[in-house]
Structure 1
Amino acid sequence: MTARAVTEATFEQEVLMNDKAVLVDFWAEWCGPCRAVSPILDQIATENSDRLDIVKLNVDENPNLAMKYQITAIPAFKVFEKGEVVKTVIGAKPKPALEADLAAFIS
């Protein structure tokens, strides 16, 4: 299972109204670290699909959401629960470090 893309048009439905915790990966096509962490996020999405949804938001194509959530560096990850940001992680990390950051949502 790979992380699916969301846009400004689908964000409310896919993220804010989701019953599960949702990790939003704020990324861009030109960002090398974003591309490096993408397969790791896909693995985490597959292994934890029952507890955590993972979606990707292209900041170049959705600048209003990037501004709203104060994204100043990418990759940036925000975990939402019941429409609220409950965790922020900045920067590409190896899988064990990301899993540690997300332990509250996936274990």
Structure 2
Amino acid sequence: MSKNTGNEKKLISNGEEFDRLLEEKEAFFVLFSNDSCGYCQMAENNINQVIDSFPQLDLYQLKLNDAPEIFERYGINSVPVSKVFKAGEAVYTGFGVRSPNDIYYQLKSYFDGGNSYFQDLADKNN
């Protein structure tokens, strides 16, 4: 599997596509958002800072207008919300804008990553 570049976010276009991902993918990261949400853009920027450290995770975005039934299924009443799914189950949920450091260490508890967020950041900048 190739390493993420942070800009390879994929949009989920409907609930059926989301359900197919749950069945087919071992693990993936979803940012639940809305078009008019400035905080969602901030959340996406923070996620992009750390997603490269977890090449096994693909980043997806699901917008409220595209699949309101999925938002209802997971009880999402406000955005941004980020979730990591592993083997079809949500294993991590982050509400609001999470810092890159927080996202990194939450993901590290579920997946192999680098030494630390700060070491990965230094390595990426060299």
CA drift of 1:77 comes to 1.1
1:80 aligns with 2:85: yes
The one-letter amino acid paired with 1:31 is C
Indicate the structure with greater strand content.
1
Flag structure 1 segments of 5+ consecutive residues without an equivalent: none
1:42 aligns with 2:48: yes
Equivalent of 1:89 in 89, 94, 101: 94
CA drift of 1:54 comes to 1.7
The one-letter amino acid paired with 2:93 is T
- Give the structure-2-normalised TM-score: 0.73
- Give the structure-1-normalised TM-score: 0.84
Indicate the structure with greater helix content.
2
Highest Rg: 1 or 2? 2
Q: What CA distance in whole angstroms lies between the structure 1 residues aligned with 2:69 and 2:96? A: 21
Flag structure 2 segments of 5+ consecutive residues without an equivalent: 114-126
* Matched-pair identity in %: 23
Moved over 3 A (4+): none
Other structure's SS at 2:93 match: strand
